[in-house]
Amino acid sequence: MIKLVFATANANKVTEIDNLLPDTVQLSSLKELGHKKDIPETSDTIEGNAKQKADFITENYKVNCFSDDTGLEINALNGEPGVYSARYASEIKDDEANIKLVLKKLEDNPKRGAQFKTAIALNIDGEQHVFFGVVKGTIRKQRIGNNGFGYDPIFEPENCGKTFAQMSLEEKNKYSHRARAFNKMIRFLNARK
């Protein structure tokens, strides 16, 4: 059994990822670890933030762990919000305000191509490994769907015909950037047996 701490305070992410992991991985959250404060995210890249969070938990708790960071990159906004996706509208994480700001900035712009990018930093047995997942799609002109979190109601993956927020968790995991990155990590962990 591989024991891993997921270095996130986002309960939605924990649920999403726990659904993907094989029985050979026992997942713990920061809450179960007893960590209640935000972990610093001061890097100017998604990969850098993932590494920083994983390193913080490994250094402070001496456990095997992984961390992810995800950004929505919109072509017409020169890659914004990118690394600032969670705090795009303000320093307080507010999904609704972030969505409103994206829709306002795009308004009637016909160019709505975008991608979600996830980087995962896995710290295990004194080594760090990084995995990436990307899903391309478009930004809808209005919110559609009630599932998911973050920008899910306005992001429609390529060749899907619906937003992440219209999908069940199982369906979202077939397409999502996070699932693609985590599946790479899972293949790596399975190869270590």
Q: Indicate which residues carry an active-site annotation.
A: 69
Peptide bond into 40 cis (omega under 30): no
DSSP characters for 71-134? EEEEGGGTT-EETTGGGSSSSS--HHHHHHHHHHHHTT-S--EEEEEEEEEEEETTEEEEEEEE
User: Nearest 5°: CA angle at 6, between 176 and 51?
Assistant: 85
d(C-alpha 57, C-alpha 30), whole Å: 9
Q: Which residues contact 22 (CB under 8 A, 6 or more apart)?
A: 186, 190
- Are 151 and 88 in contact by the 8 Å Cβ rule? The answer is no
